Structure 1
């Protein structure tokens, strides 16, 4: 009962509180179906919600790869576009739909529409957008399995209270390198998730989930994945000015 009352009050009286509360208190429900979309570099894409019958006080968010907010639809206000997308977003006639202009390869990823209700957050639209730098036959992409990936640790630098990793996610024709930094309890990836479209038109992603580094290669019909635990990658014999990093996974989140 407390959960429902808290979030409902936030929607009615102070809308922006919803965005802070939902990460901790709300329950995510809705369809897990993802619509694949292929877009040529420099072109536009329109993202539609897959639901009708919205209520007057509904709040809708469009997110990019979950972590970044693209736009907020708040009752009684004009749509609020995040600074990073200023000048690149238009609003077609269909309610809660958005058009993202001049797509670049860095815009490849999953765009999710979330309905913030009084008791739960519901997914009402999800599109996996692949931005292609050149013309690719989508029929060939859809019927061709992706090649395996390999996640390698290029370098490790550790001290008594930190561990710095340089890692590379690679496939036959592409690779991504990123840096992961851990302290005694948490890890973060510099710059957040890294992704690119391979020459075959598939998606290559390097990202951190809790204490696990993920390397993923995928298209619409297949995917390959390789992972490494930061606690193992940072492992050092305990000694002066060093620490045993094997407990990182259990301490992290």
Structure 2
């Protein structure tokens, strides 16, 4: 049963003509419309219409047409160029070939005209962390009328997106996204025809913690301080002993007192 339904739909589609082709155009640009299929034998004219009601351009069977204003003839036969498209020009553009008995759809485009998206701003705020090996980053991706926030966790300078919003569709129909590409955090605002970005790298976003001294270095410092204290104590003891010895010998140095004592013994 379902096979017959599918075959019936295919027959209907072929009878109606070509399938609608979606096209997105940046505001202010031009668009070439051309036929997807040749007109049937014995056709009288080909009309380009918008929304299947309003005729924009009519070609006779030889391919001649009178176009004015924002329309130009294309290089291909029965093709037309729409100039300086605006949002109000969005709609369904179809080419219909008329014969003496019927009208045949030979081309159809669903045209959507979009303006450029607004710039974005990326803000990255590191969150205080007691760990020297990891940190969290609070990220905000903002346009003039919308914003999303997300959280990134960095461990040993390797970051990953942990939570929060990753993307959303703005009020204008554009997409706002924040994501990580290698070591770069990217804030992207885009539609089908235009995009803007702001970005920052994660290399310097996490504050580096001072490294703790090694055990060997601590031992060396303690040993050096102890050695200095011990040497200072020995020198102090010797200085005190030297001063006492001077006082007992009437202020003479030990060498002078020894010489005087030897001289007295020789005289005697």
Query: 1 or 2, which has the higher helix percentage?
Result: 2
Q: Output the TM-score relative to the length of structure 2.
A: 0.37
Q: Output the TM-score relative to the length of structure 1.
A: 0.40
- Tell me which structure has the larger Cα radius of gyration: 2
Which fold has the larger relative contact order, with Cα–Cα distance below 8 Å and residues 6 or more apart in sequence? 1
